Amino acid sequence: MEAQRAQEIMNSPKMVTVTHNGTSVYIEHVDQQQGTATVHPLDNPDEKQNVSVSSLQER
């Protein structure tokens, strides 16, 4: 995924399914310049991690 698309998903009022390494995640923040996103698994909001947006997949 590209950073711009991750930003669009994050700002969308619709729920878009996004996965990271096979786990459904919620995108909290996107840093377009760094190409990273702060995400957490849908079932564990306390497990935040910074990942490359290229590792995110839209389902």
**Model-level pTM?**
0.92
Which pLDDT value is given to residue 55?
Answer: 98
Instruction: Read off the tokens for 20.
Output: 């990271």
Which pLDDT value is given to residue 48?
Answer: 98
At 7 the three-state DSSP class reads: helix
Domain containing 8: what range?
3-53
In a domain, 26, yes or no: yes
For the chain, list residues with pLDDT below 70: none
Which pLDDT value is given to residue 6?
Answer: 98
In a domain, 58, yes or no: no
Are the C-beta atoms of 56 and 23 separated by less than 8 Å?
Answer: no
Number of domains the chain contains: 1
Which pLDDT value is given to residue 9?
Answer: 97
In a domain, 59, yes or no: no
Which pLDDT value is given to residue 27?
Answer: 98
